[in-house]
Structure 1
Amino acid sequence: MKKVAFIFPGQGSQKIGMGKDFFENSEIAKDMISKASERLRINFEELLFEENDKIGQTEYTQPAILLVSSIANKIFNDKYTIKPEFVLGHSLGEFSALVSAGAIDYLDAIELVHKRGIFMNEACAGAGAGMMALVGLDDLTVEKMCEEQRSKGLNVWAANYNMDGQIVLAGLKTDLESLVDTFKEAGAKRAIVLDMSVASHCELLQSAVENLKPYLEEYLKDEFLTDVISNVTAKAYNTKEEAIELLSEQLINPVKYKHSISSKESDVDAFIEFGNGIVLKGLNRKITKKPTYNVSDFDTLNKTIEALNE
């Protein structure tokens, strides 16, 4: 049997209609969506399947993505028995990974990330926070440039290490906008300020850290079924104590996604992405030669099972 890792996407993977195939063809999905709606008093059928503005708001985006990823993972596990060598997620996806690892119930996780989104918004409220996608510069160059700009009083940090030559920055939107030409002059192929009102994985979220910790204490379990790879360290953890510290630190530290895949690829034959789209599958093509399968509906579910049986 192949050795696999389960991986889970984060914010940015959302889309109206995600999870609809599962909902229409699975009692498991119907039940999970119904229970999530009751728990948060949010109509997830409307949020997921009907045109709305909330799907792009952090406190709604995060539980929606986690719910769809958890449904995909649950349906897969019911159809195919395989224990992952480890699980990991990109930013928000680390919470979906914890659900998969049995470290938190999916309903508790949905409430937890809903609160996480609220705390992130509160931390950035009125600050003019934002994020920027940067393509074509190496890590060291970006880090030195950010450090130099901070010494001049600007608020800008490396937030997501997605793959070689692709980094997402976080900070104040006006500061990021003022640096577009600076990054391009340094050799960046693209420097695009994103349509976001939060600045994830940087010091601007410091106030969210202490707000989140009590809920991590309340909802996380003591037992993990498998290792989880931390966004902060790119290393494995499997205890509640470690999870509380690392998930708190994750808010103000960059996501080391490419480091996580590179450091663990030798332990598996393939990766399986659970949730909407193929964001991580696309990144993995640039990071590792190991295949990445995805489970976002019943068609991709069946194709993934076929690939695992080859």
Structure 2
Amino acid sequence: MTPVRSVRVTVPASTANLGPGFDALGMALGLHDVVELEVTGAGLEIEVVDAGAGGVDEVPTDESHLVVRALRRASAHLGIEVPGIRLRCHNAIPHARGLGSSAAAVVSGVAAAYAIANRELDAHALQLAAEFEGHADNAAASLLGGLVIAWCDAGEFRAERLTPAASIRPVLAVPTERSSTDATRGLLPDQVSHADAAFTAGRAALAVHAMTARPDLLLAATADRLHQDYRAPAYPASAALVRTLREHGVPAAISGAGPTVLALTREGILPEAVGVTSFEVIELTIDLVGVQIVTK
């Protein structure tokens, strides 16, 4: 096979949970990072281009870079050697805002390794990507596009892709502050009541139906008692915005680990009565394609 020496990977942002689907539901968004990678004889060169995502100075430019780590792990799995790397990252996904920036970086590295090996992405690509975070919702959404249901059996990560209803128009309210997934997971209790678990399970099941066939049910379907209230102290302004939007009839939830707020609208706008002056409001499409790879 002709060796692949240069790869361009475009990977979408993602939103996870969609309210009640904790670590299980994810959706790809029309906001993309682009990674250009060239295989060289030796060494590592990394250039990070900040397109409003913030934090160029905080992104490592050594082997600890997530794209490089994912590439190395996937390359070892595929049995290929990548002696040197020249990497250029065009970052558009905001970091540490609950929009899957880490998962997107990992998916980029895994996809690049598969391309270099002249291999089509397969089920193990998801396994490689999901192992970095311990859950597959964001990674599966970035890989597959659309709406995903993710789960894990005995350490094996799986996902199924569904097509969301065309009338859903996501709107994000992105605050300036950041959030750590590890920190917000630390706020979750070890146990919840049977009533709250049953409530959330029912709403997660309803969310799949609402997202694909009955968007008019999304307000009820995005209600959650499993994680959002426990995490609210980490981002009080975002939690308050979710409550206010829902009081105005807008299906809203915290995106992933937060602090971004996801509103699943049908008009692409938020009610004028809802104050969002401390947030950047972004209307996006749902990415239906997932990761895209171009090789040379």
Q: Which has the higher strand share?
A: 2
More helix by share: 1
The reply to whether TM is greater than 0.5 is no
TM-score, normalising length from structure 1?
0.30
What is the TM-score when the length of structure 2 is the normalising length? 0.31
